Chains A and B, each alone.
Chain A
Amino acid sequence: MTQRKRILLVDDDHDFVEATTAVLESAYTVEAAYGGNEGLAKAHASKPDLILLDVIMPDEDGFTVCEELKADPALAHVPVILLTSLPDGWSPTGEARGRSKAEGYLEKPVRPAELLRRVDKFLSEGTQDR
């Protein structure tokens, strides 16, 4: 049996983490971090196969965390999907997305089927899905 892929879920909203973990656990091993700094530390320690990263967090925001991940040769190849519940202007499209170099983004609330489809696509292709 092949080993399950590992996903790091970084979000300060505990409820979002619990609900999303329930979905991802059906197919993956999930590790949670509840803030930007904790997310960076766990990414370094466990080298996940994919990172789901919230944009607005109290300590370090998702754009900054993403930039730091992409600047690190050991983690730069790990696909990052940004998560946001914000409407226009703040959504990680256009300039911010370019700056953050994230591979994709998902809008909250995330539908279980869509989440699994997007994550699976990244993990099987390891390329941009847009």
Chain B
Amino acid sequence: MTITLEQLKRSDIFAKLADDELAQIMPFCREAAFGEGDVVLAEDATADWLFIVEQGKLSLEKKIQMGRRGTLRTTTVGVVGPGQSAGWSALTPPHTYTTTAVCLEPAQVIVLDAWGLRRFMDDNPRVGYRVMSVIAELARARYKSATDTLAYFVSLVSHELRAPLAAIENYLNVMLDGFAGELSDKQRRMLQRSVLRVSDLRSLIGDIVDLARMGPEQIQADFELFDPGEVGAESIEDVRLAAGEKNVRIKIEPPPKFEKIVGARRRLRQVFTNLLTNAIKFSPSGSAVTFRAHYELDAVVFEVEDEGIGIPPDDQPHIFDDFFRAENVGDVSGVGLGLSIARKVMDAHSGKILVTSPYAEGKTGTRFTVVIPRNLQTPEMRRAAQLDRSTLPGDMA
């Protein structure tokens, strides 16, 4: 069966071409039929063909994997119906498909030889330009819808999910601290478990949101002058329940005196809390986690040490990657975002976060070292420095 000009004209990518131009494309086209469940094109395969749907529907799917060892799943990113096309990647380098197209219902499609079409467009740049501008427009629309969905998702997650969790946690804390009457030991224990589970969930949601929109500029905009000792104390308070639950003792070794530093207060609390939470999670019952700090000439250094299972040497280079979880974590909960966020926070501070495991001969355990420079500036200080710069010799910024 031959394909008619009308059939090609009904497609989104060729609608703007003149009849004589379409006639030249015709030789690259053939018709094909697919049954329900057939894979029309596969993600990551070499893209040799472009498809125009005449009848039926294709679902566009992408592989997703949470973490390096997570189960591979697929998610539907769009559905293509009559007049629409699939496999645009065949026209642009590196010519590999970015999604898999699966037939949702019996479909009739036009299959275009992408090599032939590309050669034709090279020889006829005016036609090529028009086809590629339509594809650029379609790609832009798809990209915009994806980013809009992501932005909506992030805003939904950040407020609509966190606010009710915060309200629940408030009630639990108020009850636990005795502001709503006496508690029996059993009630207290159940409330403590509830607080732990709710706060785990809330910080997980926070981590996912952070991952989506935490850039160095956002962290640096929050720089302020603060007492790092207070932040350390708050972090210890954050993990007090979890430590008690696990029967892990927190040994605190502060410097003789804390001096104020500039940094993103909330973010550093997040880093300390995360390191302490990890240390407790991976510590055996009855062991100790040490949280210490000391000042150096140009930096303040915090260390979190545990006597836990340690991190295998092969895994150490990857522990700061998004969604990474070490080989030996077993069934300890987590998604592998805490350390990657900690690294982003420290990068924004021009600081360091280092891991040593094991840190003492003949022992297990992990030491995380956080180095925060002492010469950082708040946004106000940066602005003032910029104003002064004209009067200063050289570049002092």
Residues of chain A touching chain B, judged by Cβ–Cβ distance below 8 Å, are 13, 15-16, 18-20, 22-23, 26, 56, 85-91, 93-95, 107-114, 130
What number of A-B contacts does a CB cutoff of 8 Å give? 89
10 pairs, CB–CB < 8 Å, chain A vs chain B: A15-B168, A16-B166, A22-B180, A86-B158, A88-B218, A93-B224, A93-B266, A107-B266, A108-B170, A109-B202
In the assembled complex, the CB of A41 is this many whole angstroms from the nearest CB of chain B, namely 24
Known: A13-B167, A16-B167, A85-B163. A130 touches B221 (CB 8 A): no
User: Which of B23-31, B171-179, B186-194 participates in binding chain A?
Assistant: B171-179
Contact of A95 among B180, B219, B221 (CB under 8 A): B221
Question: In the bound complex, do residue A20 and residue B170 qualify as a contact, i.e. CB atoms below 8 Å apart?
Answer: yes
User: Which of B208-216, B249-257, B286-294 participates in binding chain A?
Assistant: B208-216
Q: Does B379 contact A (CB under 8 A)?
A: yes
* Closest residue on chain A to residue B177 by CB atoms: A112
Q: Does B206 contact A (CB under 8 A)?
A: yes
Question: In the bound complex, do residue B210 and residue A87 qualify as a contact, i.e. CB atoms below 8 Å apart?
Answer: yes
Most A Cβ at <10 Å: residue of B171, B210, B219, B267: B171
Q: How far is the CA of A130 from the CA of B224 in the complex (A)?
A: 9
In the assembled complex, the CB of B344 is this many whole angstroms from the nearest CB of chain A, namely 11
Q: How far is the CA of A22 from the CA of B162 in the complex (A)?
A: 22
Q: Does B200 contact A (CB under 8 A)?
A: no
Interface magnitude class on chain B: 20 to 34
Per DSSP, chain A at the interface is loop
Known: A87-B162, A88-B210, A95-B221. A23 touches B174 (CB 8 A): yes
Inter-chain pairs besides A114-B237, A130-B224, 10 sampled, C-beta below 8 Å: A13-B167, A16-B167, A89-B213, A89-B218, A90-B158, A108-B163, A109-B167, A109-B173, A111-B237, A112-B177
In the assembled complex, the CB of B129 is this many whole angstroms from the nearest CB of chain A, namely 40
* Closest residue on chain B to residue A83 by CB atoms: B166
Known: A85-B162, A108-B166. A15 touches B171 (CB 8 A): yes
Q: How far is the CA of A13 from the CA of B162 in the complex (A)?
A: 13
Q: Does B44 contact A (CB under 8 A)?
A: no
**Across the A-B interface, the 8 shortest Cβ-Cβ residue pairs:** A109-B169, A108-B166, A85-B166, A19-B170, A15-B167, A94-B221, A112-B177, A109-B166
Question: In the bound complex, do residue B179 and residue A112 qualify as a contact, i.e. CB atoms below 8 Å apart?
Answer: yes
**Chain A residues in 8 Å Cβ range of B169:** 109
In the assembled complex, the CB of B190 is this many whole angstroms from the nearest CB of chain A, namely 17
**Chain B residues in 8 Å Cβ range of A110:** 170, 173
Contact of B214 among A13, A88, A109, A130 (CB under 8 A): A88
Q: How far is the CA of A94 from the CA of B262 in the complex (A)?
A: 13
**Chain A residues in 8 Å Cβ range of B168:** 15
**Chain B residues in 8 Å Cβ range of A109:** 165-167, 169-170, 173, 202
Q: Which of B297-348 contact A (CB under 8 A)?
A: none
Question: In the bound complex, do residue A93 and residue B174 qualify as a contact, i.e. CB atoms below 8 Å apart?
Answer: no
* Closest residue on chain B to residue A94 by CB atoms: B221
Q: How far is the CA of A111 from the CA of B98 in the complex (A)?
A: 48
In the assembled complex, the CB of A83 is this many whole angstroms from the nearest CB of chain B, namely 9
Q: Does B152 contact A (CB under 8 A)?
A: no
Most A Cβ at <10 Å: residue of B167, B224, B237: B167
Q: Does B159 contact A (CB under 8 A)?
A: yes
Q: Does B222 contact A (CB under 8 A)?
A: yes
Question: In the bound complex, do residue A13 and residue B163 qualify as a contact, i.e. CB atoms below 8 Å apart?
Answer: yes
* Closest residue on chain B to residue A15 by CB atoms: B167
Question: In the bound complex, do residue A94 and residue B222 qualify as a contact, i.e. CB atoms below 8 Å apart?
Answer: yes
**Chain A residues in 8 Å Cβ range of B165:** 85, 109
Q: Does B258 contact A (CB under 8 A)?
A: no
Most B Cβ at <10 Å: residue of A16, A18, A85, A112: A85
Question: In the bound complex, do residue A94 and residue B174 qualify as a contact, i.e. CB atoms below 8 Å apart?
Answer: no
Question: In the bound complex, do residue B218 and residue A22 qualify as a contact, i.e. CB atoms below 8 Å apart?
Answer: no
Question: In the bound complex, do residue B214 and residue A85 qualify as a contact, i.e. CB atoms below 8 Å apart?
Answer: no
In the assembled complex, the CB of A9 is this many whole angstroms from the nearest CB of chain B, namely 12
